[in-house]
Amino acid sequence: MGTSDRPEDPAADPRTDYDYAADAVARPGLVADLDDRVDGEVRFDDYSRQLYATDASIYEVTPVGVVYPESTADVAAVVSYCAERSIPVLPRGGGTSLAGQTVNEAVVLDFTRHMDAVLAVDADERLARAEPGAILGELNAELAAHDLKFAPDPAWGDKSALGGAIGNNSTGAHSLQYGKTDAYVEACEVVLADGTVTRFGEVTLAELRERADPEGGLESRIYAVLARIVDEEIDAVEAAFPELKRNVSGYNLDAFVAEAREALDAEAAAGGDGDDGEPATVNVARLLAGSEGTLAIVTEATVSLEPVPETKGLALLTYDSLLDALEDVQPILDHDPAAVEVLDDVLLDLAADTEEFGDLVDSVLPEGTGSVLLVEFYAETDEEGRQRVADLLADRVGDAEDAEGLGQALVGAATTEADPAEGAADVTDAPVRAFAAREAHDEADRARFWKLRKSGLPILLSRTTDAKHGSFIEDTAVPPANLPAFVADFQAVLEEHDTYGPYFEALSYSGEHMIPRPTTSVWPNQRKIIASEVNAALRKEKSASDAASAMKKQLGAIEEQAGG
């Protein structure tokens, strides 16, 4: 095949369509036993095991072997067999996890080969039922005909699987609008740790207690634990979990007890009925979100869907420095955007040096740009999209005279495509920090801006020297008001260790999500020290956040007393 004949997408190259396995296998007795029990392929050869020893993270662990299940019965057979012999089992989707979730010394179940179907779509009820290996991009392509989508949109949605999104409680660029995956999980067919196949979903508190039996089978014991949490430990759970909307650390008990609290209040107020007269419920399936396959293995999921927005408006704000950009996040959130993303000077400089993104950087960004914020709004009409962008820029950008020589740069209220609403410049009283901005409204222009944002990860992963940036600190969750102080502390830690890292990704779900990536040259002897010092910085910001939260609760109590 000549160069001119090769498809643009490497994955479409017919030469990649092969399925190789080595002859020699590890643990042939185990292979034979599993082969007798499942319809899918069992791969314990060195080649296959090495393929699954890595994922998108920095970690590498060679698995016991790999199984490609074809059905829930296959999964149950593997789990029950391995449970009897204390062999770990690890479910895996697209392998896009950044903290080593899909590598371990275990029998890996890869769902993306056979269990990847979209089984049903109910457009009227806005529900889809799919297998765990369904790729999010392909799921949404199928839903597009109904003007619906699965809302969480992780950066690697064209590779991320539905089961992985549930396991990680994934979110994405538009989590300000949509939140996390747990909000969309309606029901799951699962295989428990002993091989039991069951279904979790919405239950009333009465049903939860009826199914509870601490001396019964595994499923009954699960319900017994949940009933105990509701009836005896709900206050302890509420006190222990931080007030972070993007909290995905530990099991999803905070969301569970929030539902339980509403149900308990309904029990007390209306004899067990909710506001609509129906029995108040909790959704047990949502506990699986963020559990990374440790509570049960999902073999089928029913998820709720969101309508595709009618249109969007986009603004790209430029700043002298990253800290200036981060100081602007909280004021920008007051404008209720659907997405806010940040790129710093490290990433912008790297993008400018590439053939693919260099022209884009040169044409979009003014000289001296040290950081950018990409802000997107959803709108019902093009006019509304332009209005929302105009209102944002009236409030958050400097004078038009600061933008000389920027071509189509749009700065200040006087040069936006729409006139800002009366009072738009006074939505916040925060100092203006952005010195220029551009807006995009048609699909091609918006895609161009998003392409700049999405250039980040491919560029970082393509570097092969010690300057390559690794992900041993990932997805730090910090309230938006605390971001500037935290990042300043983070930068100081990196400077102390003579390294640096770009900051990019979504300032999502109330601006709590940052992905700084220090260079790999520090890993051999400094990464644990850096991680420890960054953790200390996170604890400091958490203490500040907790103090602010406590003060807010005290003020609320005072106001309530005053009102009474």
Average confidence (pLDDT) over 504-521: 54
- Phi-psi region at 162: left, alpha or beta (left = phi > 0; alpha = psi -120 to 50): alpha
Residue 255 backbone dihedrals phi, psi, to 5 degrees = -70, -40
- Is the pLDDT score of 400 beyond 50? no
- What average pLDDT does the segment 517-545 reach? 67
- For 242-265, the DSSP string reads -S-TT--SS-THHHHHHHHHHHHH
pLDDT at residue 413, as a whole number:
36
pLDDT at residue number 547: 43
Lowest-confidence pick of 59-68, 188-197, 269-278, 339-348: 269-278
For residue 408, the 8-state DSSP code is T
Q: Report the pLDDT value the prediction gives residue 331, as an integer from 0 to 100.
A: 94
How is residue 563 annotated by DSSP? H
Residue 404 has pLDDT above 50, yes or no: no
pLDDT digits (tens, 9 = 90+) for 243-286: 777 777 779 999 999 999 999 998 888 665 555 567 889 999 99
pLDDT tens per residue across span 134-171: 999 999 999 999 999 999 998 888 899 999 999 999 98
pLDDT score recorded for residue 248 = 78
Which stretches of 449-491 are assigned E, i.e. beta strand?
476-477
Highest mean pLDDT among 154-168, 220-234, 501-515: 220-234
**DSSP class of residue 57?**
S
Where is average pLDDT lowest: 74-78, 127-131, 354-358, 377-381?
354-358
Residue 390 has pLDDT above 50, yes or no: yes
The answer to whether the CB of 377 falls within 8 A of the CB of 323 is no
CA separation for the pair 493, 514 (Å, rounded): 16
| The pair of three-digit structure tokens given for residue 360, joined into one six-digit string | 């884009």
Instruction: Give 125's contacts (C-beta < 8 A, 6+ positions apart).
Output: none
Sole residue written with tokens 């662990």: 61
**Per-residue pLDDT, 261:** 95
Q: For 427-442, b where at least 16 C-beta lie within 10 A, e where not — what string?
A: bbeeeebbbbbbbbbe
Residues 6+ apart with CB under 8 A from 459: 347, 350, 351, 354, 357
Q: Please state which of the ranges 395-399, 408-412, 413-417 shows the lowest mean pLDDT.
A: 408-412
Confidence of residue 551 (pLDDT cuts 50, 70, 90): very low
Residue 272: predicted pLDDT: 52
Report the pLDDT value the prediction gives residue 167, as an integer from 0 to 100. Answer: 95
SS3 for 294-351, per residue? Answer: CCCEEEEEEEECEECCCEEEEEEEEECCHHHHHHCHHHHHCCCCCEEEEEEHHHHHHH
Residue 6's pLDDT band (cuts 50, 70, 90): low
Write out pLDDT tens, residues 459-468: 776 766 666 6
Q: What is the pLDDT of residue 555?
A: 39
Q: Mean pLDDT over residues 519-548, rounded?
A: 65
Residue 561 has what pLDDT?
Answer: 41
235 class by beta-carbon count within 10 Å (0-12 exposed, 13-18 middle, 19+ buried): exposed
Structure confidence at residue 523 as a pLDDT band (50, 70, 90): low
pLDDT at 464: 67
Mean predicted lDDT score pLDDT of the chain: 84
Q: Determine the average pLDDT of the residues in 503-516.
A: 54
| Bridging pattern class, strands 127-130 and 297-304 | antiparallel
Q: Is the pLDDT of residue 560 over 60?
A: no
Q: What is the mean pLDDT of residues 304-318?
A: 96
C-alpha closest to that of 326 among 504, 501, 496: 504
> CA–CA separation, 503 vs 371, rounded Å?
10
CA distances for 350 relative to 355, 357, 359, 368, angstroms:
11, 9, 12, 15
pLDDT digits (tens, 9 = 90+) for 443-463: 988 988 888 777 766 777 676
Which tokens belong to 420?
Answer: 């800002």
Q: Does residue 506 or residue 48 have the better pLDDT?
A: 48
Judge whether residue 14 has pLDDT over 80: no
Q: What is the pLDDT of residue 507?
A: 63
Residue 215 has pLDDT above 70, yes or no: yes
In this prediction, residue 231 carries a pLDDT of 95
Per-residue pLDDT tens digits for 476-506: 777 788 888 888 888 888 888 877 777 766 6
- pLDDT at residue number 486: 85
* CATH 3.90.1200.10 is right for the domain spanning 26-110: no
pTM: 0.86
Q: Is the pLDDT of residue 422 over 80?
A: yes
Q: Could you confirm whether domain 118-306 is CATH 2.60.200.20?
A: no
190 — pLDDT class (breaks 50, 70, 90): very high
CATH of domain 311-537: 3.30.70.2190
Mean pLDDT of 323-332: 94
pLDDT number for residue 512: 47
pLDDT for 383 equals 96
* For residues 396-404, average pLDDT: 57
Residue spans of the domains in the chain: they are 26-110, 118-306, 311-537
What gap in Å lies between CA 74 and CA 178, rounded to an integer?
34
Mean pLDDT value of segment 207-224: 97
Closest CA to 504 of 449, 541, 457: 457
| pLDDT for the residue numbered 402 | 42
